[in-house]
């Protein structure tokens, strides 16, 4: 009987021990590996869109563009053409369509002599305050008048007063193929400040790559041109058409990075002179 109890107790102890061991020796479950971060596909950088509007350009040389607005004028524009021809200078004429239709022979002469004809609207309104359809009519009528006079379409346009929105620039370029030309030199000759003032302002503001604005419908402007042309030539400037100037454009070189200044050496302090030893001579 005692032996049976011993056997039963031994079996029970063995069973409890195996259960405890089983709980303590559960197989390790491998930790779940974190999923790798998605690899972003390499994207090709979008090339910058070509410029469609210009005030001036950067050029490697003394080239400028002389431009004249609002003509042609029956008497003043031929006088201006004479002055340009005598100096072998080229210019770009931004013509008002109404005047172009009235004086096609002047446009033909200008092209024969190497000048460029461009669109300056039909009636010189403020395009920036007009509807798209109204702007379209202004430009198309002038385009037609220029084409009828010289046998080819213009490729440039200048908004009267320089007034045009960014959105208008985009759709005008897309629809007509025009590059929009503003200016960086304005002598305000339309205010008729006097020929010498017009000349002085142009000479002061013009630099390589400049687009110079003037008007061939004001007598004082034409009077200012002989001195203006001669002084510009004396400075070494060469006048070309706007399209020629744009074709010469080069990227603006980056500004050189200033080299760091060397560290300034700290001044070496001179040793403080030691005080002389006290006089040991006994006092009399």
Asked if residue 211 lies in contact with residue 236, where contact means CB atoms within 8 angstroms, the answer is no
Catalytic residue among 69, 70, 143, 189: 69
The pairing of strands 91-95 and 211-215 is: unpaired
Catalytic residue check, 88: no
Helix (H, G, I), strand (E, B) or coil at 266: coil
Give CB contacts under 8 A, 24+ apart, made by 133-140: 135/168, 135/172, 136/175, 138/97, 139/172, 139/176, 139/178
Catalytic residue check, 115: no
Tokens of 255: 């500004």
d(CA 24, CA 29): 14
| Enclosing H/E stretch for 2 | helix 2-24
Q: What are phi and psi of 110, to 5 degrees?
A: -60, -45
d(CA 177, CA 157): 10
Q: What are phi and psi of 9, to 5 degrees?
A: -65, -40
Tokens of 151: 């046998």
d(CA 125, CA 228): 29
Catalytic residue among 115, 120, 215, 218: 215
Catalytic site positions: 69, 215
């Amino acid at each position: 009987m005692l032996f049976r109890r011993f056997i039963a107790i031994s079996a029970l102890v063995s069973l409890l021990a195996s259960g405890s061991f089983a709980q303590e020796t559960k197989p390790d479950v491998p930790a779940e590996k974190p999923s790798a971060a998605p690899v972003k596909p390499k994207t090709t950088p979008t090339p910058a869109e070509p410029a469609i509007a210009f005030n001036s350009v950067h050029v490697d040389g003394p080239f400028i563009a002389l431009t004249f607005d609002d003509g042609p004028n029956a008497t003043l524009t031929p006088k201006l053409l004479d002055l340009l021809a005598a100096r072998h200078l080229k210019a770009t004429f931004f013509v008002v369509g109404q005047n172009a239709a009235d004086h096609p022979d002047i446009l033909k002469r200008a092209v024969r002599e190497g000048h460029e004809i461009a669109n300056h609207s039909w009636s010189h309104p403020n395009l920036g305050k007009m509807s798209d359809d109204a702007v379209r009519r202004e430009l198309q009528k002038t385009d037609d008048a220029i084409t009828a006079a010289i046998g080819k379409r213009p490729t440039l346009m200048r908004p009267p007063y320089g007034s045009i929105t960014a959105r208008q620039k985009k759709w005008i370029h897309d629809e007509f193929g025009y590059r929009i030309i503003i200016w960086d030199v304005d002598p305000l000759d339309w205010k008729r400040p006097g020929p010498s003032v017009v000349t002085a302002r142009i000479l002061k503001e013009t630099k390589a790559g400049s687009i110079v604005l003037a008007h061939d419908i004001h007598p004082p402007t034409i009077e200012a041109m002989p001195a203006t042309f001669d002084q510009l030539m004396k400075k070494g400037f060469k006048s070309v058409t706007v399209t020629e100037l744009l074709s010469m454009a080069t990227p603006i070189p980056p500004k050189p990075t200033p080299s760091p200044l060397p560290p300034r050496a700290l001044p070496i302090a001179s040793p403080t002179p030691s005080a002389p030893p006290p006089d040991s001579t006994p006092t009399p």
